[in-house]
Structure 1
């Protein structure tokens, strides 16, 4: 039996896939389902598990269930879909357990398994559905679509002579049309802005790599930045490459960004933690009903960055594998954890593939940080609704804005290697609290995003100025390119024409964020061809200018240095 260890809560449409589309109902529901079923700690691959205990009880239950199902099939007054009844009954049964034990039907099981793979077979574009039309946001650099000349802003109106437009177009339709076995051709009918007649391109599908390191760049001559969006098959290799590159550029201190990272393979997470932690210190351990599922993982290599100030960013979207990394670094006083309290997923699931391709994710144990903390947040079996509302309740309590609103259980106190107090029972509490900056979030901004106007404006600006901008080194672009008020005024006028009435007060609050977001997207479209290994450094370098957490974290390296050398005097999260 081959083992795989996973702690995933990743969306069904990974950002790195380059086929990123709007969220319809299915795209919204599937990540929620996967988040509840996969993000619990680690998944130990298995084909079957069990024993001889209580076989008679299980047999009686199976016989009763089979009899009822047969009676319904043969005698119920209306025709029923027994497969749907079985799926529903399984789901209802599992709700009596914990929030992370779940059943995935064959379709969702395939999606869950595929998201953390190193790539997929497709045409290599990022796309978006806008005004009932599929738009190419950007072709992947070096991919098959770029090779035949497909450009940002192109409308895909037909695929193999079948229309791909209309009010009923859904995400699943786009995936089904564009993805397929590598080496197979697909004919795309494209309408380009400014052209009267459509063009036809034949694209040969190929393996499209996916990436989990969004950015890796030098902030200044000694400070590196790495953003990890998930822990997939290739994450550790990507991370090692990024870390080595930054060290070669003179990096002396590092900011590692795990915000909104929902998890992934546990062994990739512990391998990354091992790059920072010296000796053979414990990284994580698991504990179950018996010792079948008990595991201990220790540091084992001489890491690339075992010395030097380290700041790790987390927030309420950091879960599972992210929490394993943050917890190990915090318990060993190796990194200053900054941001907001992480999600709190600490249950371990075993995935069991069933005969029809569906999958059971059964909780078999809990994982613990080196100090002994379980970071699983509280839950009541059968009350998943309350569990899912936890983040909403945090907001209502003011936890995103005031450090004192974080209510740790005083009975769950633990000590780091250096004697600092840390808490279990609900996520990783940061050493330095940074409140969420929501001053720029307005209903007007949300409407602009919903109409896709910010992205559309960025694509149009990039295409109209591409020849001029491509001649500029990024540093000069970042320093000299500004989106003036005339540009912003055109945006607001077009938004009004598209049904987003202008609101001066809300616009004033969101204006600089909108300006920065458009500039960052333009940088991505213009400079993506020069990126290697899927890095979007230019986008993140621009957007960081409006990222309050990022900017405050830059001021914490002195604290991180003192922490690393045991010179700390505080036991509770800093409230500045």
Structure 2
């Protein structure tokens, strides 16, 4: 006997299959294949719904099937169901209704990992490290099916009562927070690194990115900025028009910025700078790394193509694809890759060919042999198909295994919570340093904490042992391998001394963040940031800077 729910879904599937029948009369084989496979899908779904032993969730089933289909294309073509539209809007606008705190899950606990400046969370007195145990009196452990961060979202001007456990507090604390529109800034920090070098940290490309960068630039020039460091490291990209407008800040009006080319030729377009520039002369260093992608690569690549500035850091991600959002039925959306983009030199920096997959489904990077050389405005050689290569390479720092372990276990974070409890105030972010005695206190605090790690040499020794066993030579060398393992075996106590400088830096930046939030963490990093130091060194040698732009480094 059919339930009403089953009858409705079955009828809907049948109608869908029938409504697609008109495609069968088209001569176009492609349309026939589309109609045929949609008919198969609809009838399959109907049969599953009618006869599968357990009750099915139609929404989840279809969403999973769509996601699996899109996964075979590229990572950037995505479907957004109706209940995900708020996340989509947050992604494109940087705005949402909530309290302005980043909530993370640790051992089943909901912990405040970061608080954003000027938000309801900061105004309410919520602190980094607080564990949220109740929302409006409801124990969140009973709502495990929901993301704890989403529980804190809601309409503007609505109140939410949070019950939190705080380090050092005897009893839980109740905090009343009034939700508001939270704007995730594209420029979380800008300021002067030295008396004449300004710094703009560009972390996203939502709809206000251009205005934020312009405002920051104008303010820094008012403070005496003579040289600029633009940081697009860790920037995943975003809106194409924001990349165009930001590049326009330092390039003349009508300069070609980017060209898009795709299947729909009517959508192919060359975008030019539309606005008067703010500055055509100021020396610029752009910081990049392997996670600078898409719009971040457009800005850095365009500045390089016009020889407008010097790129410092690591090779960028290599995403030369453009996405367009299409409206679907029932308030759903499809973000679909529709084109590749080409920057003024003519190169496309897309590093991976998703259209040609290996037999196992994997995709590979474009080999160097297939890359083409292009030239910047001054004639410097640049290449397509592999991201944007910096003019001044800086080797990416590799954290020590003990640093990775302490960070992943949350022990750096936890010690910062303790430190803030023990020290009501600290020096300004740029001046704060842990004393040797305080670092020793950290070592003592670690004594009863569980953490372990494997060094790279230990991993390679394990690989050698496995190979020896496979090749039947282990018995002959096992004594030597055992002796080598004993000699190389790491000691936590030794590593805490050997990597003291690196660990102190991690601790200092984390501690500063608990007092001064994101801006403080950024200022605390300047003294040890290798790319920032390389930029400052380059600005001290302007002859070298100019030589790089002329192709004569």
Q: TM-score, normalised to structure 1's length? A: 0.76
Aligned to 2:551: 569
List aligned pairs for 1:234-313, cutoff 5 A: 234-313=208-287
* Corresponding residue SS for 2:185: coil
Deviation of 1:374 after TM superposition, in Å, equals 0.9
Give yes or no for the alignment of 1:174 onto 2:148. Answer: yes
Aligned to 2:533: 551
Mean Cα displacement is larger for which, 441-450 or 519-528? 519-528
Q: Which of 308, 316, 334 is the matching residue for 1:342?
A: 316
Deviation of 1:319 after TM superposition, in Å, equals 0.5
Aligned to 1:42: none
Deviation of 1:242 after TM superposition, in Å, equals 0.9
Q: Which of 44, 61, 66 is the matching residue for 1:90?
A: 66
Kindly indicate whether the alpha-carbon contact (under 8 Å) linking 1:99 and 1:387 is maintained by their aligned counterparts in 2: no
Relative to structure 1, the CA distance from residue 544 to residue 409 in structure 2 (aligned partners, 3 Å threshold; closer, same or farther) is farther
Give yes or no for the alignment of 1:198 onto 2:180. Answer: no
Give yes or no for the alignment of 1:540 onto 2:516. Answer: no
Kindly indicate whether the alpha-carbon contact (under 8 Å) linking 1:466 and 1:526 is maintained by their aligned counterparts in 2: no
Deviation of 1:384 after TM superposition, in Å, equals 8.5
Equivalent-residue separation in structure 2 for 1:280 and 1:558 (angstroms):
32
Aligned to 1:367: 341
Kindly indicate whether the alpha-carbon contact (under 8 Å) linking 1:98 and 1:379 is maintained by their aligned counterparts in 2: no
Relative to structure 1, the CA distance from residue 140 to residue 289 in structure 2 (aligned partners, 3 Å threshold; closer, same or farther) is closer
- RMSD (Å), alpha carbons: 3.2
Relative to structure 1, the CA distance from residue 148 to residue 238 in structure 2 (aligned partners, 3 Å threshold; closer, same or farther) is same
Mean Cα displacement is larger for which, 338-347 or 51-60? 51-60
Deviations 1:475-515 (A, max 9, x none): xx634x43122222222332331212671343234322221
Aligned to 1:221: 195
Deviations 1:65-93 (A, max 9, x none): 32333233334566544444433443444
Deviations 1:425-445 (A, max 9, x none): 12111112111121xx22322
* Corresponding residue SS for 1:338: strand
Deviations 1:265-301 (A, max 9, x none): 1111111100011242101010122422111111222
Mean Cα displacement is larger for which, 302-311 or 79-88? 79-88
* Corresponding residue SS for 1:100: coil
Q: Which of 125, 128, 144 is the matching residue for 2:101?
A: 125
Relative to structure 1, the CA distance from residue 511 to residue 169 in structure 2 (aligned partners, 3 Å threshold; closer, same or farther) is farther
Q: Which of 395, 400, 407 is the matching residue for 1:449?
A: 407
Equivalent-residue separation in structure 1 for 2:246 and 2:400 (angstroms):
37
Relative to structure 1, the CA distance from residue 85 to residue 128 in structure 2 (aligned partners, 3 Å threshold; closer, same or farther) is closer
Extract unaligned runs of 5+ from structure 1: 1-50, 394-405, 529-535
Deviation of 1:333 after TM superposition, in Å, equals 0.8
* Corresponding residue SS for 2:322: strand
Deviation of 1:223 after TM superposition, in Å, equals 0.8
Q: Which of 413, 425, 433 is the matching residue for 2:385?
A: 425
Give yes or no for the alignment of 1:325 onto 2:299. Answer: yes
Deviations 1:429-471 (A, max 9, x none): 1112111121xx223222211232212222332343234x3xx
Kindly indicate whether the alpha-carbon contact (under 8 Å) linking 2:103 and 2:149 is maintained by their aligned counterparts in 1: no
Equivalent-residue separation in structure 1 for 2:74 and 2:101 (angstroms):
38
Equivalent-residue separation in structure 2 for 1:387 and 1:423 (angstroms):
27
Equivalent-residue separation in structure 2 for 1:363 and 1:52 (angstroms):
28
Aligned to 2:449: 498
Relative to structure 1, the CA distance from residue 89 to residue 527 in structure 2 (aligned partners, 3 Å threshold; closer, same or farther) is closer
Deviation of 1:134 after TM superposition, in Å, equals 3.0
Equivalent-residue separation in structure 1 for 2:168 and 2:138 (angstroms):
23
Equivalent-residue separation in structure 2 for 1:293 and 1:173 (angstroms):
38
Give yes or no for the alignment of 1:156 onto 2:142. Answer: no
Equivalent-residue separation in structure 1 for 2:548 and 2:397 (angstroms):
31
List aligned pairs for 1:468-479, cutoff 5 A: 469=426, 474=428, 478-479=430-431
Aligned to 1:66: 42
* Corresponding residue SS for 1:360: strand
Aligned to 1:400: none
Q: Which of 501, 507, 524 is the matching residue for 1:512?
A: 501
Deviations 1:165-185 (A, max 9, x none): 59x958x43123211111212
Equivalent-residue separation in structure 2 for 1:178 and 1:82 (angstroms):
28
Deviations 1:53-75 (A, max 9, x none): 75444333333332333233334
Larger Rg: 2
Aligned to 1:231: 205
Equivalent-residue separation in structure 2 for 1:518 and 1:112 (angstroms):
35
Relative to structure 1, the CA distance from residue 349 to residue 518 in structure 2 (aligned partners, 3 Å threshold; closer, same or farther) is same
Q: Which of 119, 126, 129 is the matching residue for 1:143?
A: 119
Mean Cα displacement is larger for which, 59-68 or 334-343? 59-68
Kindly indicate whether the alpha-carbon contact (under 8 Å) linking 1:262 and 1:321 is maintained by their aligned counterparts in 2: yes
Mean Cα displacement is larger for which, 515-524 or 83-92? 83-92
Aligned to 1:185: 159
* Corresponding residue SS for 2:241: helix
Deviation of 1:320 after TM superposition, in Å, equals 0.3
Relative to structure 1, the CA distance from residue 525 to residue 67 in structure 2 (aligned partners, 3 Å threshold; closer, same or farther) is closer
Relative to structure 1, the CA distance from residue 86 to residue 560 in structure 2 (aligned partners, 3 Å threshold; closer, same or farther) is farther
Kindly indicate whether the alpha-carbon contact (under 8 Å) linking 1:285 and 1:297 is maintained by their aligned counterparts in 2: yes
Aligned to 1:34: none
* Corresponding residue SS for 1:216: strand
Higher RCO by CA contacts (8 Å cutoff, separation 6 or greater): 1
Deviations 1:135-165 (A, max 9, x none): 4455544433443443444332221221235
Aligned to 1:37: none
Q: Which of 510, 515, 523 is the matching residue for 1:521?
A: 510
* Corresponding residue SS for 1:121: strand
List aligned pairs for 1:476-491, cutoff 5 A: 478-479=430-431, 481-491=432-442
List aligned pairs for 1:381-460, cutoff 5 A: 381=355, 383=357, 408-409=368-369, 411-438=371-398, 441-460=399-418
Kindly indicate whether the alpha-carbon contact (under 8 Å) linking 1:333 and 1:564 is maintained by their aligned counterparts in 2: no
